[in-house]
């Protein structure tokens, strides 16, 4: 073991150089340096975390409770932005929709749902893909061949199509009464299942390299079980690219969710996500109520663009080879 800085000896006296604290080490790390020198990443991060914060604190920030019918005033319907509702007289920053729901509040709650589904779907895809990739890369042989052939076949089809199909099949298996309540879970399942392949392929190739290294052989020699080797020893060494793929796929998952909801096969109008809101807003374009469409669209764009830019930046920093 190499001597650490604190027990370096100069002559007879021991000079102790204090180890910098965690925060200052993080501040001086390569990632932080490149973050501070990339204006795009800074702006994207500010936008993204503002949106996440707004989504998390939606119940506190939202001036209205849009999904509680008791608080709605139908007379307030179609109030333009910065206008006062005809019924209640309250001010609506971004206007209201046909039922008098405050657009700003519905966006906050919709973003909450979009983000939650996106994160859960990517998490599910990552867990599934990383596990299968580790197993394929470590086991090799027919297990590897089977998993990777399934991945190849799925990769032949665009992920939106796979998600749509899984969504349709899951709906077919559910009894009609519970379809609306289960919609969010079905969305997470279908988007997650449509995105695991890239995780598995990346993890498999790094696991194949790592599995040949000495520390893995040593772990095997001391008699660790395969599961322990996979998740305690291999996993930490293949996680770098997973983070990058995860960020990029978060943007994809948010867009896929919005697309499914927009198509009317995702989140139901009673608990709308951003995609559902855009779908609702589309109906009022021809009658001139542009705000019902515009503001959810801008929010979705800001969300997708900021995650995309953060993902691009992270990819360049962590793993230039992936470019």
Partner 1 sequence: MFAYVVRRALQGVLVLFVVAFIAFTMFRFVGDPLDGLLGQEATQLDRVELRERLGLNDAVPVQFARFVGNALQGEFGNSYRNGVPVAGMIAERLPATLELALVSALFATLLGIALGVYTAINRDGWLANTIMSASLIGVSLPTFLIGVLLIWVFAVELGWLPSFGRGETGNLFGWDSSLVTVSGLKSLVLPAITLGLYQMTLVMRLVRAEMLEVLRTDYIRFARARGLSERAVNFGHALKNTLVPVITIIGLQVGQITAFAIVTETVFQWPGVGLLFINAIQFVDIPVMATYLLLVGTLFVTINLIVDVLYAVIDPRLRAERPAGGAST
In the complex, the residues that contact partner 1 under the rule CB under 8 A are: 145, 148, 152-153, 155-158, 160-161, 164-165, 167-169, 171-173, 205, 251, 255, 258-259, 262-265, 275, 278, 282, 285-286, 290, 293, 297, 300-301, 304-305, 308
Dist. CA 38–CA 237, nearest whole Å:
27
Name the residue nearer to partner 1 (CB basis): 28 or 50: 50
Ordered alpha helix ranges (H), 159-290: 159-173, 179-211, 214-221, 226-228, 235-262, 274-282
How near is the Cβ of 243 to partner 1 at its closest, in Å?
20
d(C-alpha 214, C-alpha 2), whole Å: 20
Rounded Cα gap, residues 15 and 33, in angstroms: 29
**In the bound complex, what is the minimum distance in angstroms from residue 150's beta carbon to partner 1?**
9
- H/E stretch holding 91 reads strand 91-92
Smallest separation (angstroms) from partner 1 to the CB of 269: 13
Task: Name which of 56 and 305 has its Cβ closer to partner 1.
Answer: 305
Q: Please, what is the minimum distance in Å from the beta carbon of residue 281 to partner 1?
A: 8
What is the rounded distance in angstroms from the CA atom of residue 97 to the CA atom of residue 278? 11
Q: Quick one: 163 or 234, whose CB is closer to partner 1?
A: 163
Q: DSSP of 55-76, one letter per residue? A: HHTHHHH-SS-TT-GGG--GGG
Give min distance, CB of 180 to partner 1, in A: 13
* Closer CB to partner 1, 22 or 286, in the complex: 286
96 vs 308, beta carbon nearer partner 1: 308
């Amino acid at each position: 073991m190499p001597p650490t800085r604190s027990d370096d000896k100069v002559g007879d006296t021991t000079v102790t150089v204090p180890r910098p604290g965690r925060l200052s080490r993080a501040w001086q790390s390569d990632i932080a340096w490149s973050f501070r020198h990339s204006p795009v990443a800074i702006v994207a991060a500010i936008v993204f975390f503002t949106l996440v914060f707004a989504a998390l604190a939606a119940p506190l920030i939202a001036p209205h409770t849009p999904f509680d019918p008791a608080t709605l005033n139908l007379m307030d319907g179609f109030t333009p932005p910065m206008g006062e509702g005809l019924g209640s007289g309250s001010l609506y920053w971004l206007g209201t929709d046909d039922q008098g729901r405050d657009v700003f509040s519905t966006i906050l709650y919709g973003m909450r749902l979009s983000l939650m589904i996106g994160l859960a779907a990517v998490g599910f895809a990552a867990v599934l893909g990383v596990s299968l990739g580790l197993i394929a890369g470590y086991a090799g042989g027919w297990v590897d061949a089977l998993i990777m052939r399934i991945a190849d076949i799925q990769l032949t089809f665009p992920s939106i199509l796979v998600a749509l199909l899984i969504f349709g099949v899951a709906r077919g298996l559910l009894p009609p009464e519970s379809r609306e309540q289960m919609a969010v879970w079905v969305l997470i399942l279908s988007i997650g299942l449509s995105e695991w392949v890239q995780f598995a392929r990346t993890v498999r190739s790094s696991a194949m390299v790592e599995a040949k290294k000495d520390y893995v052989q040593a772990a095997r020699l001391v008699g660790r079980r395969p599961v322990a080797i996979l998740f305690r020893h291999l996993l930490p060494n293949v996680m770098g690219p997973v983070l990058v793929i995860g960020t990029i796929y978060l943007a994809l998952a948010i867009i896929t969710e919005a697309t499914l909801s927009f198509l009317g096969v995702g989140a139901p109008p009673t608990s709308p996500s951003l995609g559902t809101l855009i779908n609702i807003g589309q109906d009022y374009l021809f009658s001139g109520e542009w705000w019902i469409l515009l503001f959810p669209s801008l929010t979705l764009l800001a969300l997708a663009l900021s995650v995309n830019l953060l993902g691009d930046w992270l990819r360049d920093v962590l793993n230039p080879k992936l470019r």
